[in-house]
Each structure stands twice: as structure tokens, then as C-alpha cells.
Chains A and B, each alone.
Chain A
Amino acid sequence: ILNVEQSPQSLHVQEGDSTNFTCSFPSSNFYALHWYRWETAKSPEALFVMTLNGDEKKKGRISATLNTKEGYSYLYIKGSQPEDSATYLCASPGGNYQLIWGAGTKLIIKP
């Protein structure tokens, strides 16, 4: 069983500012790294699934990078908007069809 950890636990950002947060995971036997956005009273939605070391993916103002050798991924949000307020989860397969989830980073955008 592997541990997926996220930091910080919560983050307050002024509207218009850019921000980033971290997901760390064991680098041995790496298979994939998932990022999800989970808005309050809704269900998690996938942002990215990353598999290659050095990979960078982008969706609008949100991007993510992956370092499988050192076991971390960064999620970046450029020019934060109120609609970006959500909990951002990362997860990595732990084997046997089990996806191990981090506790999430709760992002609050202040207008």
C-alpha cells in the first residue's frame, strides 16, 4: 500500500493570482498519476491522467507536471478565478485496481 500526500491542506488565493500545490507519491513501481477537481456538493471530475516522467498537461488555465523519479506532481492554476474554488485531489494506482487518493488541497479564491 502506498501513501499519496498533498500539500498544502488548504490554500486561500486572491482572485487573479496564480498558485500551485503538490502531490507526492512513492516513485517505485509508478504506473499513473491522476488529478481531479471536486467542487462542493458535486462529484469529483478528472483533470489529468499522467504517465510519463517529465510530462506536462494543460487544460485552460490549469496545468500539471510530473516527476516520476522523485515522486511528485505539481498542479498550477494561472490567474485564479472564483470558479476555481474546489478541492483538488491527486491519486495513484496502488495495484490490484486500487486507486490510492490523497487527502486533497482545498483551494479558496478570494474575490
Chain B
Amino acid sequence: DTAVSQTPKYLVTQMGNDKSIKCEQNLGHDTMYWYKQDSKKFLKIMFSYNNKELIINETVPNRFSPKSPDKAHLNLHINSLELGDSAVYFCASSQSGPGGEQYFGPGTRLTVT
């Protein structure tokens, strides 16, 4: 029983394409997050959702848009992909916001060619 799952695990696509990464958690958590592991291997918060409301939106390009059809899902849609978008993207969830420990998905390695 995977707690936080992401699909796909690997995604190779060309510049200019639009792609989505899906995330689902079966932990009953009320907050979900998207992180980007940058080129220096640092973990950078992109978005978080609490009860389907966007709570934070870091300085990410508006080509990135989170979509949450329900509390258990937070998908990441990326328009007009650029070479610099190549990275590993992690989804995570927690209960009651940042006070609760976060459970991470396995990551999606996005490669833009």
C-alpha cells in the first residue's frame, strides 16, 4: 500500500510540450505539496494545498499550475516545457500543515530535450 504515489516515474519530452504529473495520497492528510529538486540537489517548495485551497505559491513560472480535484490528489501541470524544467519533482503530504511530518512520493524525473 503506497502512501504517496506519483505517476509517471520518468518523463522525457520535448521543449514546448505540455505535460502533467499526478500525485495521490491515501493517508487522509489535509495538506499536499510539490517540490523541485534543483540542480544543486536542494529541495525547493513549489506549491502546497490545504483542503483544496492553494496556500503558498513560491516564485515559480506561471507555466506551472497545481490542480487538486479532491483532497487526496494534487496534480502538477506544466505548459510550454523548457530545458531548465528538467529536474526531479517530489509530491508530499502531511496532516495539519507543516507541523506534521511530511510523507514523500517516489519522485518524477522530468527530462526536457
Which of A's residues lie within 8 Å of B, judged by CB? Answer: 31-32, 34, 36, 42-46, 49, 51, 87, 89, 93-94, 96-99, 101, 103-104
Contacts and interface: CB of A to CB of B under 8 A. Distances in A.
Interface of B: 31, 33, 41-45, 48, 50, 55-56, 90, 97-107
Nearest to B101: A46
A89 B104 CA distance: 13
Contacts, number: 56
Contact of B102 (A34, A42, A51, A104): A34
B6 to A, nearest CB: 9
Q: Which of A31, A46, A51 has the most C-beta atoms of chain B within 10 angstroms of its own C-beta?
A: A46
A97 B50 contact: yes
A44 B103 CA distance: 8
Contacts of A87: 41
Give the top 10 A-B pairs by smallest Cβ distance, nearest first: A93-B98, A46-B101, A43-B104, A97-B55, A99-B98, A97-B97, A49-B101, A32-B99, A101-B43, A44-B104
Contacts of B56: 96-98
Given A43-B107, A46-B101, A101-B44, 19 more contacts: A31-B98, A34-B102, A43-B90, A43-B104, A46-B102, A49-B100, A51-B99, A89-B43, A93-B99, A94-B98, A96-B55, A97-B48, A97-B55, A97-B56, A98-B45, A98-B56, A99-B45, A99-B98, A104-B41
